[in-house]
Chains A and B, each alone.
Chain A
Amino acid sequence: MKRDLDRPGGSATLGGDAASSAVSWPRRPIARQPGQPPHDSALGHVQGSARYIDDLPLREGELRIALVGAPCARGRVTRLDLDAVRAAPGVVGVYTAADLPGANLWGPIFHDEPVLAEEVVAYLGQPLAVVAADDERDARAAAALARVEVEEEEPVLTIEQAVAAGEFIGPQRQIARGDLEAGWERARQRIEGRFESKGQEQFYLESQAALVVPEEGGSLLVYSSTQNPTEIQKVVADALGWRQSQVVCEVLRMGGAFGGKETQAALPAVFAALVAFHTHRPVRVVYGKDEDMLLTGKRHEFHTDYRIGFDERGRIVAAELDVRSNGGAYADLSTAVLERCMLHLDNAYHLPAVRIGARVCRTNLPPNTAFRGFGGPQGMAVIESCMEEIAARLRLDPLDVRRVNLYPADEASDAALTPYGQRVRGNLLPEIFDRLEQSSDYRLRRREISQHNARTDAWGEPPCVLRGLSLVPVKFGISFTNKTLNQANALVNVYTDGSVQVSTGATEMGQGVNTKLAMIVAQEFGIDHRRVVVRPTSTEKNNNTSPTAASASTDLNGAAAVKACAAIRERLAELASGLLAGSTDGLAPAPEQVGFEGGAVFDRRAPERRIDFAELCRRAHVERIDLGARSFYATPGIDFDRETGRGCPFAYYTTGACVAEVRVDRLLGTLELERLDVLMDIGKPIHLAIEMGQIVGGLVQGIGWVTGEELVYDGRGELLTTSPTTYKIPAASDLPRDLRVEILDNDLNRHNVRSTKAVGEPPLMLAIAVWTAVRDALGAAVALGARPGDLRIPATHEEIARTLSGCSVEEWIAAS
């Protein structure tokens, strides 16, 4: 087993020397390493020739659509008068639920969401009718003429309101382990309270979009900006009362998705399909950004009531957690998001006796949905907040409290068991803690910061700046928690010139899955990656695919592609062994000795004689040998019973940790990120630049969630933050002054493709360290009235100011 941990990251090391100047970006590049391909669309992107749905050429007779939406968040529709809409200039057709030939209910888990609302509306703007016109402006102008009357009801918007009204989605769920009673007896102290984190808008730059083209013989080709082409195919077929075989969904690329296009790309596609069905004309839909933000679901808001008992060292001995999420009006993926939250409430810590109860609340907001992390961030943030609180109570360094609770490296230990009974194996977190503590000079900086903060003794006295420091680990389970989704198929076609096409169910949203798949396939055949092309995802080539989600697309589709390559290689090796033996005296044909390398094949016993790969492919075709293969992969060894809350939901965990240092202005509540040190175990990277890109991109998105991004709704359930004017995603100028990212290069994760580890979601949660660092800083102002335990996610400047003032939310609102 190769394990070179003394050389963290090797060339992957990103980051400068300890003595950093004020502005210090990583000194060593994380850009492409020699020999690594650029992102497979890089050239198109820099030239502006890479196409998104809105860029596809105009089709003959193409229509655009606009929506008639619910005027309030909850009520009964008493009148839907569309006469003026129909009579408006340019309008080709207006369609309501009555015009749907098939089912008007859809949903990824429960079929509970109407495609078009009928008698009841459940969130503001909920689509009631689709207006089609030759021109988008005409469609929108016409839609505005609709007369919708609704008998309004008081909307349920918050978790509290839903709990009070008894409005839930799906059953109460539970995970429990260990003897709680005994745990409480052992507990020296306890903390209890409520932790709240708000939602987050995905803010993919390309809004939801689809182009539907009617084809011969009663079929539709749907181009969609979706992470889940199979879902689009199904939902369109269901809504039209068609068979799935009549619908093809193709995905070239998305302009960002982050979970927001896992299920919610479906509605726009179905609307366009409905119009195409009735008009037999191509139909395109591209949501406006405000429309997209108003109508589509977001990361779930969560509230968690916690009761934690611990011993004198801060070791948790009993934990009771009651979790509520704001699901919005329909189920969407909420129960799955809740489940992942429950499975990540432990984050990286052993909870010997624990009971987790959880439920999704139904409210009158658009159905909330997937967003990178999928409930994981919301779960981890709870326990990380508790770690801070325990440390404050015991006057210990939070790092020490975290360390005594950390899952051990010894996987045989009782303490390696998660609440759901899966064992944490190959855990490098204790080592990551050691290394980061050293490389970040944690103890030294802690002392400095304590001294600095100790000078903060009265309001208005300098220094006005409070400093905070925090180290937070991340342990993120890889696999879909729904076992069925952990499957993939791949189609590999080799041509007679030795070039290769690959098609899988993985969709490209910028994360670089196509580039990684091309590299994997090229390596299998020992050829240059430029000979391999990854084709657009289509349900025609890959059927019944899983969404590109759960960070698992390279794991699943890469493994399927490897199997397909192996099947072809076996056939080629058979042929090559004969050819090579024939030309080398005394060598008996031995297919198992045939190697593929450097664009050629050879017999390992006589490697000097080589046959060019292209020549071999040509010969194979002449000899009537099949040069294509379709393969299937299902992740082995995973199983989770959601009824009992027990099992092994994950193939493995991706882990890492982040040390964050922040500065808080205690008069203004403003926040600056001073320095972040990240160390991740992502197994053996396939393409370092792409994986580093995921780490930094995810981290910054997470920083947005925990700091500046705040969704604000009014009392009618209308989102007020519907554009970047009011919704602040991080800009280039918001980044940490000093960012250092390293990875632990290792090949311990043998059972995953190429010993890699998934990297899509986990880095987002590293940003929790920023939030806990803010909390740490606020701890220095307790004597001045600050209540750090009140801090919620996101820690906006206003939220920080409120916490510093010691005001409750109600007092704060009343005062402002």
Chain B
Amino acid sequence: MGVPIKVQVNGKTYERTVEPRTLLVHFLREELGLTGTNVGCETSLCGACTVMVDGKTVKSCTQLALQADGSSVTTIEGIADGDRLSAVQEGFWEKHGLQCGYCTPGMIMAATHLLSENPKPSEAEIRAGLKGNLCRCTGYHNIVEAVKYAAAKMA
């Protein structure tokens, strides 16, 4: 029943056989042990499961692993440069852009994508750009600050 797929995840190539119904998030978490990507709503609304596939953000809870065949996936585990945090990661850390942390990996992926498309976003653009990622703890204020910090740092 399994289907062979070949996916690059965080720069490493994996060849695996998956059941066709396997979701990308389960493939990442269970098959590859990359548990940084969280599952919140399972309905593509909260953004906790956000990863990047070929440079675009994807809600991995509503995408099949099969669909990522031949693609390059980046998860929260692959976003730092070795021990050096990315500017966005540093922003969340530095600006206290997190509380329980459950939304954080997805937020960081979404923010990273946002900044790659729009390196100098206004506050309104940041808020609009993150509206697909829910956070129940922070009230978003410091998350926006974190993204601004990253934008400034990357400039």
Binding site for B on A (CB under 8 A): 23, 25-26, 29-32, 38-39, 41-52, 54-55, 202-206, 253-258, 288-290, 509-512, 689-690, 693, 696-701, 723-725, 729-733, 735, 739
State which of A48, A253, A735 has its C-beta within 8 Å of the C-beta of B75: A48
State which of B45, B101, B127 has its C-beta within 8 Å of the C-beta of A732: B127
A-B contact pairs, 20 of them (CB 8 A): A39-B96, A42-B98, A45-B98, A46-B76, A46-B90, A46-B104, A50-B101, A54-B29, A54-B38, A205-B136, A255-B100, A255-B102, A289-B41, A509-B99, A696-B139, A697-B137, A723-B45, A725-B45, A731-B130, A733-B128
Asked if residues B124 and A23 are in contact (CB atoms below 8 Å), the reply is: yes
Asked if residues A44 and B101 are in contact (CB atoms below 8 Å), the reply is: yes
Contacts of B124 in A (CB 8 A): 23
Question: Which B123-137 residues have C-beta < 8 A from chain A?
Answer: 123-124, 126-128, 130-137
Contacts of A733 in B (CB 8 A): 127-128, 130-131
Asked if residues A46 and B123 are in contact (CB atoms below 8 Å), the reply is: no
Q: Which of chain A's residues has its CB closest to B48's CB?
A: A205
B62-103 interface code vs A (CB 8 A; 1 in, 0 out): 000000000000011100100001000110111110111111
Contacts of B34 in A (CB 8 A): 48
Q: Which of chain A's residues has its CB closest to B80's CB?
A: A47
Counting CB contacts under 8 A, is B39 at the interface? yes
Asked if residues A739 and B41 are in contact (CB atoms below 8 Å), the reply is: no
Most buried by B among A25, A26, A49: A25
Contacts of A509 in B (CB 8 A): 99-100
Contacts of A46 in B (CB 8 A): 76, 85, 89-90, 92-93, 98, 104-105, 108
By Cβ-Cβ distance, the 6 closest A-B pairs, closest first, are A48-B36, A510-B100, A45-B101, A510-B99, A255-B102, A700-B139
Counting CB contacts under 8 A, is B141 at the interface? yes
Asked if residues A52 and B102 are in contact (CB atoms below 8 Å), the reply is: yes
- Nearest-neighbour CB distance to chain B for A40, whole angstroms, equals 11
Give the CA-CA distance A700 to B48 in the complex, in Å: 19
Q: Given A50-B101, A206-B100, A256-B100, do A697 and B138 touch, yes or no (CB 8 Å)? A: yes
Counting CB contacts under 8 A, is B122 at the interface? yes
* Interface class of chain B by DSSP: loop
Given pairs A25-B145, A42-B93, A697-B99, 4 additional interface contacts (CB within 8 A): A510-B101, A693-B138, A701-B136, A723-B42
Q: Given A255-B102, A289-B43, do A48 and B35 touch, yes or no (CB 8 Å)? A: yes
Give the CA-CA distance A739 to B138 in the complex, in Å: 14
Asked if residues A724 and B46 are in contact (CB atoms below 8 Å), the reply is: yes
- Nearest-neighbour CB distance to chain A for B19, whole angstroms, equals 10
Counting CB contacts under 8 A, is B119 at the interface? no
Asked if residues B93 and A38 are in contact (CB atoms below 8 Å), the reply is: yes
Contacts of A51 in B (CB 8 A): 35
* Interface class of chain A by DSSP: loop
Asked if residues B141 and A26 are in contact (CB atoms below 8 Å), the reply is: yes
- Nearest-neighbour CB distance to chain B for A46, whole angstroms, equals 4
Asked if residues A30 and B141 are in contact (CB atoms below 8 Å), the reply is: yes
Give the CA-CA distance A690 to B98 in the complex, in Å: 10
Give the CA-CA distance A192 to B105 in the complex, in Å: 50
Give the CA-CA distance A109 to B81 in the complex, in Å: 52
Counting CB contacts under 8 A, is B140 at the interface? yes
Give the CA-CA distance A46 to B75 in the complex, in Å: 11
Asked if residues A48 and B77 are in contact (CB atoms below 8 Å), the reply is: yes
- Nearest-neighbour CB distance to chain A for B103, whole angstroms, equals 6
Q: Which of chain A's residues has its CB closest to B110's CB?
A: A732
Q: Which of chain A's residues has its CB closest to B132's CB?
A: A731
- Please tell me the size bucket of the interface on B: 35 or more
Q: Which of chain A's residues has its CB closest to B85's CB?
A: A46
- Nearest-neighbour CB distance to chain B for A584, whole angstroms, equals 43
Contacts of A45 in B (CB 8 A): 92, 98, 101, 104-105
Asked if residues A289 and B42 are in contact (CB atoms below 8 Å), the reply is: yes
State which of A25, A48, A290, A725 has its C-beta within 8 Å of the C-beta of B144: A25
Asked if residues A31 and B142 are in contact (CB atoms below 8 Å), the reply is: yes
Contacts of B140 in A (CB 8 A): 696, 700, 730-732, 735
Counting CB contacts under 8 A, is B143 at the interface? yes
Most buried by A among B77, B98, B100, B122: B100
- Nearest-neighbour CB distance to chain B for A797, whole angstroms, equals 17
Contacts of A47 in B (CB 8 A): 36, 76-77, 80, 85, 89
Asked if residues B139 and A699 are in contact (CB atoms below 8 Å), the reply is: yes
State which of A49, A205, A511, A698 has its C-beta within 8 Å of the C-beta of B102: A205
Contacts of B122 in A (CB 8 A): 23
Contacts of A289 in B (CB 8 A): 40-43
Asked if residues A724 and B45 are in contact (CB atoms below 8 Å), the reply is: yes
Q: Which of chain A's residues has its CB closest to B45's CB?
A: A724
Asked if residues A38 and B101 are in contact (CB atoms below 8 Å), the reply is: no
Contacts of B137 in A (CB 8 A): 256, 510, 693, 697
Asked if residues B142 and A732 are in contact (CB atoms below 8 Å), the reply is: no
Contacts of A689 in B (CB 8 A): 96, 142
State which of A32, A43, A724 has its C-beta within 8 Å of the C-beta of B95: A32
Asked if residues A255 and B93 are in contact (CB atoms below 8 Å), the reply is: no
Give the CA-CA distance A288 to B41 in the complex, in Å: 8
Most buried by B among A41, A45, A204, A731: A45
Give the CA-CA distance A100 to B36 in the complex, in Å: 36
Counting CB contacts under 8 A, is B37 at the interface? yes
Asked if residues B143 and A512 are in contact (CB atoms below 8 Å), the reply is: no
Contacts of A696 in B (CB 8 A): 138-142
Q: Which of chain B's residues has its CB closest to A204's CB?
A: B136
Give the CA-CA distance A204 to B77 in the complex, in Å: 23
Contacts of A48 in B (CB 8 A): 34-37, 75-77, 104-105
Q: Given A54-B39, A289-B40, A724-B43, do A255 and B101 touch, yes or no (CB 8 Å)? A: yes
- Nearest-neighbour CB distance to chain A for B126, whole angstroms, equals 7
Give the CA-CA distance A729 to B126 in the complex, in Å: 18
Most buried by A among B43, B108, B122, B141: B141
Asked if residues B92 and A42 are in contact (CB atoms below 8 Å), the reply is: yes
Contacts of B41 in A (CB 8 A): 289, 723-724
Asked if residues A732 and B143 are in contact (CB atoms below 8 Å), the reply is: yes
Contacts of A41 in B (CB 8 A): 101
Give the CA-CA distance A200 to B88 in the complex, in Å: 32
- Nearest-neighbour CB distance to chain A for B51, whole angstroms, equals 10
Contacts of A730 in B (CB 8 A): 139-140
- Nearest-neighbour CB distance to chain A for B54, whole angstroms, equals 20
Give the CA-CA distance A44 to B92 in the complex, in Å: 11
- Nearest-neighbour CB distance to chain A for B139, whole angstroms, equals 3
Contacts of A512 in B (CB 8 A): 99
Contacts of B95 in A (CB 8 A): 29, 31-32
